[in-house]
Structure 1
Amino acid sequence: MESVRSEADAQQEPSSSSGGMRQVLALALSLSILQIGFGIIMPIFPFYIVELGVGATELGILAASFAIARIVLAGPLGRLSDRVGRKPVLIFALVGFAAANVIYAFANTILVMIAARMLEGAVSAGFFPAANAYVSDVTTVENRGKAMGYLSMGSNVGFVVGPTVGGIMAQFLGFRLPFIIAAGATLFTLLLILVLIHEPDRHDATREMDTKPAPSLREVFGCNRKAYSVLGFAMFTTMFSIGILEVAFMIDAVVRLGITPIEIGAFFGIMGVTMIFGSVIFGSISDRAGRTPLIVIGSFIGTIAMFMFALASSFFDLALAGLVLGIGFSMRGPSIQALIADLTHPRSYGVVMGAYGAVSNSAYVVGPLLGGYLYDQQGTSVVSLILGAWVATAGGVAAWVGLPMSTKPVCETIESESSGENGSQASD
């Protein structure tokens, strides 16, 4: 397998040069515009739910419907991006995003909103794994953490500009117009993808996808079963905590703390600024110091942030907790994505990213549903947030115990050691 990876790395080398990094930056720019559209509507959902006369449980169902659609389609669309290419899947997904936002704008019942949310989840199941796989296609182990950091930075720009603009618009223009603007931002992203992004020149084996099936997940995960499993658990704990926060705490912030749409937008903006700079800084650090230490530390910082949210009593407390959470996310997120890519043969990036998308979305089903239910039962988000804190801690402990500290792909490390042992035995 080492020789196969060596051939793949050799053929990837041209794409992994400055030209490959330019493609990553173009994709990051496109993703930032898309996430601005997402960000515009983020401060609106809690108020929209209150306007429709439903509670936290319904908001949890709305969030979970997005994740359920992604679970069903993440694997098939990830495999599709391996077969037909990354760019066609990205384009298809963007058309769906625009349609979902138009439906949101005219929704007058929770059922219509759930339908739009499921459509959004379905197409996002293709977009984000394909984007991550694209970065893996055009980078090497040496610069992949930095590239994933750029992609995260592009995504996080949307969480600075989008929620701030969306909060202001919701405050003064109502809750529906921002969805139309989000649809427009999505169509602009589609134009950028069409013009700036080129299908990567992948390994020869990937050019035979239409006649040669991709390896099964069992084959892909067989070499690094323990590391893949721990990464899946770490990703699950991250998304579970996010789901708790976005449903239980956001409703609590509106009802108990009296937070306005502008303040919710500012909260996401503060967290986004932190993640913009943190993703690039910590992504580069992970290339030098290793992925695992940052995953572990980021998980424990996330635990601290969840307790801070539980104790928050003002907007200042909310903003400070968001700052801490942003640091934790920017350490953990790019490092997890880069380590997954390190462990995976280029020909299987799409299906692997799709599988991990299913894992994270499973957590985003459980977290919002449980968070919404507990909030409606308790009348507060404190219990949910403490639960989220302990789950984040479990993810950090699992990463500490179960992930490799080496920055090299585990398969290469194992095979290099095996080759060394065989060589020494032969010399003996």
Structure 2
Amino acid sequence: MNHPRTATHPAEESNSTPLRLGLHANLAQFTLLVAVNALVGGMLGQERTVVPLLGEQVFHLTGYTAALTFIVAFGLTKAATNVVAGSLADRHGRKPVLVAGWLIGIPVPLLLIWAPSWGWIVAANVLLGVNQGLTWSTTVIMKIDLAGPTRRGLAMGLNEASGYLAVAGTALATGYLAATYGLRPTPFYLGIAFAALGLGLSTLRVRETLGHAQLEARDRNTSDNGPRGVLTAGLSTRQVFLLTSFRDRALSSVSQAGLVNNLNDGLAWGLFPILFASAGLSVSRIGVLAALYPAVWGAGQLVTGAASDRYGRKWLIVGGMLLQAAALVLFATATTFWPWAMAAVLLGAGTALVYPTLLAAIGDVAHPTWRARSIGVYRLWRDGGFAVGAVLSGILADSFGLRTAITVVAIITATSGLLVAVRMHETLHRTPPRPSNAEAAGNTSSQR
């Protein structure tokens, strides 16, 4: 589809299969990775309905902040692991990182089943954070490797849709299982199955994709034209961190929007089930609401990822953040199931506009030789939002109540969207020339 070449990756030299970029050329592996990422999402989804209720009903935690410690542990661990995953993927290849992530994820459902105290739940979420940081980051990187430069938005839409549809389906399934069989152990049997399947597929069927990134790098280096704002090769990890976090206007705008997006997701994960339970909803109905938001989020990305390839990244991000803010206001003011269901649909739609588009924008700007590291840094900030959201919303809820906490997060989300509107340039368009290495490393601010 894109850039047919005759290069081969060392792992494939035995059958002399040429590497090519594009979804069509790599359809079998891309589809396999979509399935693997669905299993990654299922590992996360096993917690969305049940674990907040475990804290309240089994371990009798008092205070919202204490109940959200499992999300803080997950968010901080996953954020740090994302950076490590990007560096390891550039250095040692993608597949070993993916397999390692699944090995670390195997104990998670077992700990959730047998945990005698809340500290064990927190420990399980440390392992879950490492699992998600290694596996989800790597599937993102591998799909960007395979897709090439022209279908990144579609590739990220398919990746994130598979993951979050699995989150939704598992949250719904565990809600019904918990209502029928109790909060433990039955709902977490799904996690055992997901971990076993993920490890088996990643070990036996997934192929290394580092060679595809190297092929794209050679294509880009020999091309006269490149995407507007794309930065060149040869940057250190420190330079990549500073560019992605602060110096590059597009990359840093994406990073802060990702952080705020997951800030409100941390709120939704930890406090929404408690809010719904306080209104007298049954566990099965709480499961429906917990599943509805990621279901719309997941399915919507099948449309929004491809739309960002056609219409651009910036305004989808802005619109998505503002829509999320409006949805959170509705969550804060509603008191019954159906208005909350409408708010969940709006929150999922807003997140669908943002999630694959942010990753595609990173792929637009970052050079293939350090793109995995840039994705890792972006995901550091984005998934750090889980921890920030859990701490901030927990403190606000303890001090001022659940609804005030949700309203404050809505204001933060709207502000983030406006910041993207003011600061970020459109990353999709292609115009010559590319900046030099010296400009990229030392004078990034002057490029904008």
Place the TM-score, normalised by the shorter chain, in its bin. Answer: 0.7 to 0.9
Shift of 1:415: 4.7
Q: Which residue does 1:53 correspond to in 2?
A: 60
Given that 2:148 and 2:216 are in contact with CA atoms closer than 8 Å, whether structure 1 keeps it comes out as no
User: Which secondary structure state, in structure 2, belongs to the residue aligned with residue 202 of structure 1?
Assistant: helix
Shift of 1:219: 5.0
Q: Which has the higher helix share?
A: 1
Q: Which residue does 1:197 correspond to in 2?
A: 206
C-alpha distance in 2 between matches for 1:246 and 1:158: 15
Matched, 1:125 2:133: yes
Q: Which residue does 2:96 correspond to in 1?
A: 88
Q: Runs ≥4 in structure 1, deviation > 4 angstroms? A: 6-13, 203-207, 219-224, 412-416
Shift of 1:302: 0.4
Q: Which residue does 1:218 correspond to in 2?
A: 239
Stretch of structure 1 that moved more, 323-332 or 28-37: 28-37
User: Which secondary structure state, in structure 2, belongs to the residue aligned with residue 113 of structure 1?
Assistant: helix
Which deviations, in whole Å up to 9, do the C-alpha atoms of 1:64-122 show, x marking residues without a partner?
01112223333222201111111111111112112122111100211111111111112
Given that 1:70 and 1:361 are in contact with CA atoms closer than 8 Å, whether structure 2 keeps it comes out as yes
| TM-aligned CA distance change 1:126 to 1:214, over 3 Å | farther
- Give the alignment's TM-score, normalised by structure 2: 0.84
Which deviations, in whole Å up to 9, do the C-alpha atoms of 1:203-260 show, x marking residues without a partner?
44899xxxx9973241576597111111111111111111222223332221x21222
C-alpha distance in 2 between matches for 1:271 and 1:236: 18
- Equivalenced residue count is 405
- Give the alignment's TM-score, normalised by structure 1: 0.87
1:394 to 400, 415, 423: 415
Q: Which residue does 1:32 correspond to in 2?
A: 38
Identity %: 21
2:264 to 206, 221, 241: 241
C-alpha distance in 1 between matches for 2:161 and 2:335: 30
Given that 1:163 and 1:269 are in contact with CA atoms closer than 8 Å, whether structure 2 keeps it comes out as yes
Given that 1:8 and 1:203 are in contact with CA atoms closer than 8 Å, whether structure 2 keeps it comes out as no
Q: After superposition, where does 1:107-118 map in structure 2 within 5 Å? A: 107-118=115-126
User: Which secondary structure state, in structure 1, belongs to the residue aligned with residue 21 of structure 2?
Assistant: helix
- Structure 1: any 5+ residue segments left out of the alignment? 1-5, 417-428
Q: Which residue does 2:324 correspond to in 1?
A: 302
Which deviations, in whole Å up to 9, do the C-alpha atoms of 1:116-162 show, x marking residues without a partner?
11111123222222111111111222111001111011112213321
Which deviations, in whole Å up to 9, do the C-alpha atoms of 1:300-357 show, x marking residues without a partner?
1001100010012111121111100111011110100100111111121221121112
1:275 to 289, 297, 301: 297
Stretch of structure 1 that moved more, 213-222 or 135-144: 213-222
User: Which secondary structure state, in structure 1, belongs to the residue aligned with residue 426 of structure 2?
Assistant: coil
**AA at the equivalent of 1:52:** F
| TM-aligned CA distance change 1:277 to 1:108, over 3 Å | same
Given that 2:82 and 2:377 are in contact with CA atoms closer than 8 Å, whether structure 1 keeps it comes out as yes
Stretch of structure 1 that moved more, 24-33 or 289-298: 24-33
Given that 1:300 and 1:392 are in contact with CA atoms closer than 8 Å, whether structure 2 keeps it comes out as yes
Q: Which residue does 1:230 correspond to in 2?
A: 253
| TM-aligned CA distance change 1:21 to 1:398, over 3 Å | farther
Matched, 1:336 2:358: yes
Shift of 1:194: 2.8
Stretch of structure 1 that moved more, 298-307 or 64-73: 64-73
Q: Which residue does 1:105 correspond to in 2?
A: 113
- Structure 2: any 5+ residue segments left out of the alignment? 8-17, 218-232, 437-448
Q: RMSD of the TM alignment (CA)?
A: 2.8
| TM-aligned CA distance change 1:98 to 1:311, over 3 Å | same
Shift of 1:9: 10
C-alpha distance in 1 between matches for 2:356 and 2:391: 27
Given that 2:79 and 2:380 are in contact with CA atoms closer than 8 Å, whether structure 1 keeps it comes out as yes
C-alpha distance in 2 between matches for 1:222 and 1:35: 29
Given that 1:34 and 1:185 are in contact with CA atoms closer than 8 Å, whether structure 2 keeps it comes out as yes
Given that 1:303 and 1:390 are in contact with CA atoms closer than 8 Å, whether structure 2 keeps it comes out as yes
Given that 2:20 and 2:212 are in contact with CA atoms closer than 8 Å, whether structure 1 keeps it comes out as no
Stretch of structure 1 that moved more, 260-269 or 306-315: 260-269
